[in-house]
Amino acid sequence: MFTGIITDIGEILALQQEGDLRARIATGYDMTGVDLGASIASDGVCLTVVAKGPDWYEVQVSAETVSKTNLGDWTIGKRVNLERALKVGDELGGHIVSGHVDGVAEVVGLTEVGGSTRLLFRAPDHLAGFIAPKGSVALDGTSLTVNDVSGAEFGVNLIPHTKQVTTWGDVKMGDRINLEIDTLARYVARLRDWERHMDSA
């Protein structure tokens, strides 16, 4: 589990296709404290550390994960948002994030408003119903509050601090962004579907 609070910005050092996609990611984390098999959210995707060095780690990304996320767009030198797994007693500054990406949203609007940036995203149609004004979403691993929703489009605001400590300072129109809907919204929808099923039984 994660919180959506980014704690490091990594960089893709190497990519290799060997059945699955294998990636080496540079990090500022003290890797002596990271075990093989540990989970690190990389652009919001929970990935397992399979090899490591003093300032890097490697992950294997399955074809299924590549098909559901933007990790297939990774290139050498790309900066990625990183977060280590939540430990008991850690502060929950964002919201509960699983690192299991639901789909990919597209940046369809970008406006500077004062010192902040307003971003407009288009979500996949099958996920739009899970996104609500003032609710939470994880976008490339970052916990953000939804300002407004219109159909499959939703907006968020980025303050300057967020752009400085994450990769959001690099965002541009047309970017494909990993989207994880709020876990609570997922269970509310499941309960609603179950109640409808029982009413029709």
- 120 and 80 in a single domain? The answer is no
- 57 and 128 in a single domain? The answer is no
Which range marks the domain in which residue 144 is found?
A: 103-191
Per-residue confidence band for 92, with pLDDT thresholds at 50, 70 and 90:
low
- 108 and 73 in a single domain? The answer is no
Per-residue pLDDT averaged across 179-196, rounded? Answer: 74
Q: Is residue 93 part of a domain?
A: no
Q: Is residue 201 part of a domain?
A: no
Domain boundary among 22, 57, 84: 84
Lowest mean per-residue pLDDT among 137-151, 156-170, 182-196: 182-196
Q: Is residue 199 part of a domain?
A: no
Domain boundary among 24, 57, 84: 84
- What pLDDT is stored for residue 3 in this prediction? 87
Per-residue pLDDT for 164 more than 80?
A: yes
Q: How many domains does the chain divide into?
A: 2
Q: What is the 3-state secondary structure (H, E, C) of the chain?
A: CECCCCCEEEEEEEEEEECEEEEEEECCCCHHHCCCCCEEEECCEEEEEEEEECCEEEEEECHHHHHHCCHHHCCCCCEEEEEECCCCCCCCCCCCECCCCCEEEEEEEEEEECCEEEEEEECCHHHHCCCCCCCEEEECCEEEECCEEECCEEEEEECHHHHHHCHHHHCCCCCEEEEEECHHHHHHHHHHHHHHHHHHC
Give pLDDT tens digits for 113-162: 888 999 999 999 999 989 999 999 999 999 999 999 999 999 999 999 99
CATH number at residue 55: 2.40.30.20
- 187 and 113 in a single domain? The answer is yes
Q: Is residue 97 part of a domain?
A: no
Q: Is residue 146 part of a domain?
A: yes
